């Protein structure tokens, strides 16, 4: 017997409906802000991520799924989305047109991490990137789009954390101050080596003993140049205008090396250790580093898996059903007609299923109850002779007979009001004319 690889979740009904709801809701927020969809390869040249993400990051040094293809080329399953988007922008000359280039993506990403609740080796993200304009208002827009996506899901138990990581003008001097501070600490050798490569990574260390050692470390936000400080203040001002609440976290360090200036994270404390449900920031030097123009960019990646867990924790997911309508045939001739009616309803955009398998009437009605449908279409031999069909609202038990020629419109009318009553039982599902079929198995 086979099972899914460790750390790779299956989403099956009914959870899969909630998963697609979360993904489409987060995607819709991007579409409403004018972001166009880009479909990216699942694997890329390994050098793209090594150069773009940062060779000193845990993502590159420990977590990437890398292999040689048949041409002996080093290929990596994508661990994040920004580098791939930037590669696509450069390759297809999108940066030579109207700026900013505004794109969003959705899909699977891969990291060889120790699996736990909310942390998977295959995970899903919805992300956006706005490339080509260094404008604090654009930073604020990106953050607000992410916030709008979470609010559209009904989430309230998260907070937005915000800081600035400076730029090439002010970060080198800060780096020297931080390295001088870290050099005095009794760090283990791997951490000391990390401090030499990228001292900010040490501030991101999750070990309690290291956190205690760096508690008094200098902070980037206190050493911003005038331009970066003005940029940061304007971002905060725009967020206030947009009604987006935030808290400043000067100790925030994102897990990727390309971030500059605005950096942010959405945190949900109801998820335990894996509390980050999304985040991002500005990356002003990334395009040039990957061989393109010297253009700025800002974006985010929102975790679909974790947003789903957060929505479940808060109890804000709506009710989902497979179908709106289910047909219950009472006889072979009725079955043939309901097959045709189901086709008509599907063509009209109505989710429709049938009770299959020659079940008894009782079993058919039980299947109708379990389907989650709002309407049941009941058709027996006498109904066919009379040219009518029973349309039953399962939540209330109300049933009406309608001419077979008018079924599509009758179903549309029956689905318009959202009935909030608890779905009723199966008693009385059969129309009077179809009751003759009650005594035999179908």
Average pLDDT over residues 330-340: 93
For residue 240, say whether it is annotated as part of any ligand binding site: no
Instruction: Given CATH 1.10.10.410, say whether it is the number of domain 325-439.
Output: no
Confidence band (pLDDT; 50, 70, 90) for 420?
A: very low
* Residue 433: band (very low, low, confident or very high) from pLDDT cuts 50, 70, 90: very low
Average of pLDDT values for 171-186?
Answer: 91
Is 423's pLDDT higher than 50?
no
Predicted pLDDT of residue 418: 47
Q: Has residue 430 got a pLDDT over 70? A: no
Q: What is the pLDDT of residues 59-90, one digit of tens each?
A: 777 789 999 999 999 999 999 999 999 999 99
Q: So what's the pLDDT on residue 201?
A: 78
Is 91 annotated to bind a ligand? Reply is: no
- Higher-confidence residue of 13 and 61: namely 13
Higher pLDDT, 343 or 203: 343
Mean pLDDT of 411-424: 61
Does the annotation list 258 as a binding residue? yes
**Quick one: pLDDT band at residue 132, thresholds 50, 70, 90?**
very high
Which H, E and C letters describe the chain, residue by residue? CCCCCCCCCCCCCCHHHHHHHHHHHHHHHHHHCCCEECCCCCEEEHHHHHHHHCCCCHHHHHHCCEEECCCCCEEEECCCCHHHHHHHHHHCCHHHCCCCEEEEEEEEEECCCCCECCECCEEEEEEEEEECCCCHHHHHHHHHHHHHHHHHCCCCCEEEEEEECCCCCCHHHHHHHHHHHHHCCCCCHHHHHHHHHCCHHHHCCCCHHHHHHCCCCCCHHHHCCHHHHHHHHHHHHHHHHHCCCCEECCCCCCCCCCCEEEEEEEEEHHHCCCCEEEEEEECCCHHHHCCCCCCCEEEEEEEHHHHHHHHHHHCCCCCCCCCCEEEEEECHHHHHHHHHHHHHHHHCCCCEEECCCCCCHHHHHHHHHHCCCCEEEEEEHHHHHHCEEEEEECCCCCEEEEEHHHHHHHHHHHHCCCCCCCCCCCCCCCCCCCHHHHHCCC
Examine the pLDDT at 273 and tell me if it is beyond 80.
Answer: no
Q: Per-residue pLDDT for 207 more than 70?
A: yes
The per-residue pLDDT for range 309-333, each reduced to its tens digit, is 999 999 999 989 899 999 999 989 9
**Domain spans, the chain:** 15-170+224-314, 325-439
Q: What is the pLDDT of residue 367?
A: 86
Q: Is 82 annotated as a binding residue?
A: yes
Does 409 count as an annotated binding residue?
A: no
Q: What pLDDT shows up at residue 434? A: 38
Residue 257 in this model has a pLDDT that exceeds 70: no
Q: What is the pLDDT of residue 56?
A: 57
Average pLDDT over residues 41-46: 95
> Is 81 known to sit in a ligand binding site?
yes
Q: What is the pLDDT of the chain when averaged over all its residues?
A: 88
Same fold, 15-170+224-314 and 325-439: no
Question: Would the annotation count 111 as a binding residue?
Answer: yes
| 427: confidence class by pLDDT, cuts 50, 70, 90 | very low
The reported pLDDT for the residue numbered 131 is: 97
pLDDT of residue 279: 95
Instruction: Indicate the range of 107-116, 349-358, 420-429 predicted with least confidence.
Output: 420-429
For the chain, what percent of residues have pLDDT higher than 70? 92
pLDDT of 130 over the 60 cut = yes
Q: Give the pLDDT band of residue 8 (cuts 50, 70, 90).
A: very high
Q: pLDDT of 216-238, one tens digit each? A: 999 999 999 999 999 999 999 99
| pLDDT tens column, 350-373 | 999 999 987 777 787 788 888 889
Q: What integer is the mean pLDDT of 157-168?
A: 94
**Does the annotation place 283 within a ligand binding site?**
no
Predicted TM-score (pTM) of the model is: 0.86
- pLDDT at position 255: 58
**Range ranked top by mean pLDDT from 170-174, 178-182, 290-294, 300-304:** 300-304
Higher pLDDT, 51 or 166: 166
- Give residue 233's pLDDT: 97
pLDDT of residue 258: 72
Instruction: Specify the higher pLDDT residue, 56 or 136.
Output: 136
| Comparison of pLDDT for 364 and 418, the residue scoring more | 364
Please name the fold of domain 15-170+224-314: BirA Bifunctional Protein; domain 2 (3.30.930)
pLDDT digits (tens, 9 = 90+) for 366-407: 888 888 899 999 999 899 999 999 999 988 888 899 999 999
């Amino acid at each position: 017997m086979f099972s899914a690889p460790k750390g790779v979740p299956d989403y099956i009904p009914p959870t899969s409906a909630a998963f697609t709801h979360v993904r489409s809701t987060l995607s819709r927020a991007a579409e409403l802000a004018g972001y166009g969809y880009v479909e990216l390869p699942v694997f890329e040249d390994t050098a793209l991520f090594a150069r773009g993400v940062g060779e000193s990051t845990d993502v590159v040094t420990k977590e990437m799924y890398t292999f040689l293809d048949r041409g002996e080329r080093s290929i990596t399953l994508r661990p994040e989305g920004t580098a791939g988007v930037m590669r696509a922008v450069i390759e297809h000359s999108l940066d030579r047109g109207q700026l900013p280039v505004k794109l969003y993506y959705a899909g699977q990403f891969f990291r060889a991490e120790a699996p736990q609740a909310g942390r998977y080796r295959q995970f899903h993200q919805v992300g956006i990137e706005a490339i080509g304009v260094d404008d604090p208002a654009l930073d604020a827009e990106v953050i607000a789009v992410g916030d709008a996506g979470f609010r559209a899901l009904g989430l309230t138990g998260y907070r937005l954390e915000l800081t600035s990581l400076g730029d090439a003008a002010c970060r080198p001097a800060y780096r020297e101050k931080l390295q001088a501070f870290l050099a005095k600490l009794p760090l283990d050798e791997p951490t000391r080596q990390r401090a030499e490569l990228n001292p900010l990574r040490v501030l991101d260390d999750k070990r309690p003993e290291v956190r205690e050692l760096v508690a008094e470390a200098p902070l980037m936000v206190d050493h911003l140049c005038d331009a970066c400080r003005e940029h940061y203040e304007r971002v905060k001002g725009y967020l206030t205008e947009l009604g987006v609440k935030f808290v400043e976290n000067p100790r925030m360090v994102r897990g990727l090396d390309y971030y500059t200036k605005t950096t942010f994270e959405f945190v949900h404390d109801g998820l335990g250790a894996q509390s980050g449900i999304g985040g991002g920031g500005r990356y002003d030097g990334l395009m040039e580093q990957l061989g393109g123009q010297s253009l700025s960019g800002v974006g985010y990646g929102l975790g679909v898996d974790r947003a789903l867990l957060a929505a479940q924790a808060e109890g804000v997911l709506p009710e989902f059903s497979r179908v709106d309508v289910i047909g219950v045939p009472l006889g072979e001739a009725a079955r043939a007609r309901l097959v045709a009616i189901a086709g008509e309803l599907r063509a009209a955009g109505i989710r429709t299923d049938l009770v299959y398998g020659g079940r008894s009437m009782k079993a058919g009605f039980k299947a109708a109850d379990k389907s989650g449908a709002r309407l049941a279409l009941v058709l027996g031999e006498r109904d066919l002779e009379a040219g009518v069909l029973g349309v039953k609202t399962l939540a209330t038990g109300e049933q009406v007979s309608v001419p077979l020629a008018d079924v599509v419109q009758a179903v549309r009318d029956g689905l318009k009001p959202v009935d909030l009553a608890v779905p009723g039982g199966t008693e009385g599902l059969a129309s009077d004319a179809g009751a003759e079929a009650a005594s035999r198995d179908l």
